[in-house]
Structure 1
Amino acid sequence: MSATAAPNLTAELDPSGPMTVYNDLIAQGSLKEDDFQRTIIETLQEMHDRLLTYTPEPIGAEAKEPEKERGLFSKISSIFNKKEEERLAKEAEDARRAAIPKGLYLYGSVGTGKTMLMDLFYNSLPRSDKKRIHYHSFMLQVHGRLHKLKTTTHQHEDPVPFLADALAMESRVLCLDEFQVTDIADAMILRRLLEELVVHRGVVLVTTSNRHPSELYRNGIQRESFLPGIAVLEDNCVVKCLDGGVDYRREKKTYFQSAKPMDKSTAPKAVSDAEDAGTTPPQLAMIEEKRFFWPLGSDTKKEVDEYFTQIRNGNPVQERKMRFLGRELVLPHTAGKIAMCSFNELCAKSLSAADYLQLAESINTLILTDIPKLQPSTLHRNETRRLITLIDALYESQVKLVCTADGPISEIFGGGSGAHLADEDPSTMGQLTPAQRQMMDDLGLNDVSQVKKSPIFSGEEEKFAVQRAESRLIEMQGPGWGL
């Protein structure tokens, strides 16, 4: 499994576009008719049709033609015709920009189907120069490649244009899931990278987010420097809101993971016979399975230990050490591609999105034990962020998640309203934690009042993330998830 792979919502690529696939899923009963989603599908279908004939200009060295030697008369003429040349150059640039299809910036509440719709578009687009990746994974790659450029081939040059060349040559259609900007380092890179990719190299961006572009990095440190990046998004993407007020992940009988048409050409005869008879095919009869155990205690521990014994099918339990990027992650209990770890082992240690993405790529089932109720205190702030990041990584890779916790999902994150966040804890108002002060030092910042307003510290961004994490946890309990 890959952390950057799109969930497979189509059995076969359908070049007619996302509208056909969407209608088929509704006809099968896999999705419900939703007027809000349909308006987005119509936009995606138009983009799909434009991209079928979109031929972007060459990148980098391929785009450069040797300049012909000009004679004296030509040089003198060019001086007098400079304004005309500038006019023609502007017309050529305007024509180039007009030929680039607009992308889509899709935002809205959690669980409304943003990722599902983007994946329908991606899977039905018959282009080889396309890429679908989660925002966290994308930024990890960007930072890593920039570092390599700075320390190797382009030590004394601006590395961003070279990175943009490489990214554009890899994909001219870039689908970014869960676009968010909470980190000043990301904001400063994205400000320029978006312009280099979208404006100068004709990359078509399709992205999902919880925020309108104008709300990105709101109150962030040095936000005014990021505003050109927002302008690129608004000028080069159709901005649409998908917010019908329904969180489909919380509806017990609706799971996007099961929204997949059956490929009858490869289906067993028993499935075809069942469909012909109007009954439920064996492969589509999802079985409800308990995956979230609570409260914590000896009975719950015994139940989940028995579950682990059952699903490992006799494979020996052993410690496993994962090494990557000069780091080591120890998984104390593994059996094949199944891992069982405690909350403290994965969320109380200084692990990052890169660690969780690597973990998600290496297993197909995680049993996460002893999740506490995260109290309204800065003591749990880092643990909360790590749990959210872990859930995102597992969700993106379609990893089966089994949990034991001190309470139901609705109580894990302080009631789901963001009440666990430090700025809402009266005992910490006006104060910065040691971690926050360390970040101030790392960024070279001195103005505490400015820092307290930043979404990095205020917890404003985490309110969206908490809602998404709860919604995803619920969906991951659904029948068929991770199979």
Structure 2
Amino acid sequence: MAQGHVARRCLSKGPVSAAYELKVNAGEVRRDNAQVALAAKFDALHDSLALLPPVPVRTDDPAQSSCTSSSSLLLLLSRSLASAQSFFRKKFNLWFFGPPPRGMYIHGPVGVGKSFLMDLFYASLTVPDDNSCCNNDSLKHVKITKRRVHFHEFMLDVHHRIFVYKQKHPQGDAIPVVAQQLALEAQLLCFDEFQVTEIADAMILKRLFSLLISDWNVVMVATSNRAPDALYEGGINRSLFLPFIDMLKHTSDIISMEDSQNDYRLENRADGQSYFWSNNGGHGDNNISNKVQAQLEEIYGGTASTTEAESIPVLFGRTVQVARLNDRCAWFDFSDLCYQPLGAADYISLCRRFPVIIMERVPQLDANHLNEARRFVTLIDACYESRTRLVLTAQVPLDELFVDFEAQVQSSDGDEELFVNDKGGNSSSFATTMIRTKKGEVYEWSATGRIGVSLAQLSAANDLAFSFRRAESRLVEMGGKEWGRQ
């Protein structure tokens, strides 16, 4: 296609659609009708951001006034004043600027282009370089403070801000202060992999986002594998979380890509240099293991560059230990990172420190390894977001690594058994959580059962089963030759 024709076509569309067309014409992606439609919606949001009210001037934190320790009345008055300021600010913005732009919540299967299109939108909010064919005054490039972050990492940041605030003001209300901090840092928040599995997150979200959106005019864009009504499904005290879902629907356009079935990540198959497996279990020809070991040593960079063990700082004053490392690579056994009580904060810190992480002896992950699998999926997400190269050795091929399962509740009364949809309640002799594997095998899953967790965690198990598909897809993409920071 002639360059002039490409330029005219580019200028006839909004910035996100134009960027998408460039990638299609360059052969980087295949045109997908669902992606074209999503790009057009991002174009509309891009235009509406030009009318976004300015960020308000920072207000004083009532908890930092001298009255906090001596006069609860003055503290109450100062908070009332802050509330009144917020009320009149919202009324003025609504009258002068009109209603704030609606956000977007995009849900659908893995690999259909949700994050890809969101990233094109995110990039469109910066001034293009001189080489872009779309560098034309007819395309408005909105200048806006922004932040793009994996939702895991965002919530860790929120919890850390609350922790820091509470250290100084044990009796203070941290949420308004944290909301103000976040709003002053970014008018647009783009979240990848929006999901809610923890009660602590569920209790924070409604109030935090209400302040961000209603008081501070922050616009939220999120991608998720879950529809809004399926968020925190079956979680503890979910009724307290439902107002957040209502607010999400009220302030955001809910866009479904559930009909898209193409996982485009799987079209770029791994090059075989990031995932190794052997099923000999120590029997038969050991040359395979020796060859893999030699490849791992080459990736690592040899033992000559090994340094002493290192403690990597983590949020909340913790550390994670690394026994084998050099300046660019850390080497672990699966048990080091996934059998230990580690989480997203630990894995994010490791990814920030090391461009390459090697992990040996990854087992096949099924309903018998729920906690370990959950940590492993979280590690994959952290590596994916930071473009850290994750090199694995496993007992099975990649397409057999995650064993599909579903979690259900089984109620019994006498000799009768009944599978019910309601996932609430507590474990008892009449309500036992069950895990059904892909092969149809059923295992008890209760506080005293073989898995060792309670019925209240059923939602997390279902989310994990859902996350398996995303993790496998991401591992395929991360196995490509161009993957990684170095």
- From 401, 424, 429, give the equivalent of 1:412: 401
Match of 2:268 in 1: 252
**TM-score, scaled relative to structure 1:** 0.75
Deviations 1:98-129 (A, max 9, x none): 43111110110011111111111111113351
User: How many Å separate the matches in 2 of 1:176 and 1:90?
Assistant: 25
Amino acid paired to 1:107: H
Q: Contact 1:54/1:101 (CA < 8 Å) preserved in 2?
A: yes
User: How many Å separate the matches in 2 of 1:89 and 1:149?
Assistant: 25
RMSD: 3.1
Deviations 1:441-477 (A, max 9, x none): xxxxxxx6xx26x403xx1111211111111111111
Unaligned runs of 5+ residues in structure 2 are 1-10, 62-87, 127-142, 409-432
Match of 1:469 in 2: 471
Moved over 4 A (4+): 88-94, 312-315, 417-422, 425-428, 433-438
- From 178, 181, 186, give the equivalent of 1:171: 186
- From 331, 337, 353, give the equivalent of 2:344: 353
How many Å apart are 1:433 and its aligned residue? 4.8
Match of 1:124 in 2: 124
Greater mean deviation of Cα atoms: 388-397 or 321-330: 321-330
Q: Contact 2:266/2:473 (CA < 8 Å) preserved in 1?
A: yes
- From 250, 273, 294, give the equivalent of 1:306: 294
Match of 1:133 in 2: 149
User: How many Å separate the matches in 1 of 2:376 and 2:91?
Assistant: 51
How many Å apart are 1:222 and its aligned residue? 1.1
Match of 2:27 in 1: 29
How many Å apart are 1:49 and its aligned residue? 1.6
Residue 138 of structure 2 corresponds to residue 114 of structure 1: no
Match of 1:240 in 2: 255
**1:207-286 mapped onto 2 (5 Å cutoff):** 207-243=222-258, 244-252=260-268
Q: 1:294 to 1:52 in 2, by over 3 A?
A: same
Identity of aligned residues (%): 35
Amino acid paired to 1:292: Y
Residue 274 of structure 2 corresponds to residue 291 of structure 1: yes
Deviations 1:49-78 (A, max 9, x none): 221342335144299xxxxxxxxxxxxxxx
**TM-score, scaled relative to structure 2:** 0.75
User: How many Å separate the matches in 2 of 1:228 and 1:60?
Assistant: 28
**1:368-379 mapped onto 2 (5 Å cutoff):** 368-377=359-368
- From 435, 446, 453, give the equivalent of 1:423: 435
Match of 2:65 in 1: none
Which of structures 1 and 2 has the larger relative contact order (alpha carbons within 8 angstroms, sep 6+)? Answer: 1
Match of 2:218 in 1: 203
Match of 2:17 in 1: 19
Deviations 1:369-403 (A, max 9, x none): 111112432xx211111111111111111111221
User: How many Å separate the matches in 2 of 1:327 and 1:422?
Assistant: 35
Amino acid paired to 1:156: Q
Match of 2:208 in 1: 193
Amino acid paired to 1:213: P
User: How many Å separate the matches in 1 of 2:34 and 2:317?
Assistant: 46
User: How many Å separate the matches in 2 of 1:361 and 1:430?
Assistant: 36
Q: Contact 2:312/2:349 (CA < 8 Å) preserved in 1?
A: no
- From 312, 332, 356, give the equivalent of 1:365: 356
Unaligned runs of 5+ residues in structure 1 are 1-13, 64-87, 256-287, 441-447
Residue 175 of structure 2 corresponds to residue 160 of structure 1: yes
User: How many Å separate the matches in 1 of 2:189 and 2:100?
Assistant: 13
Q: 1:113 to 1:89 in 2, by over 3 A?
A: closer
Amino acid paired to 1:136: H
How many Å apart are 1:479 and its aligned residue? 2.6
How many Å apart are 1:198 and its aligned residue? 0.9
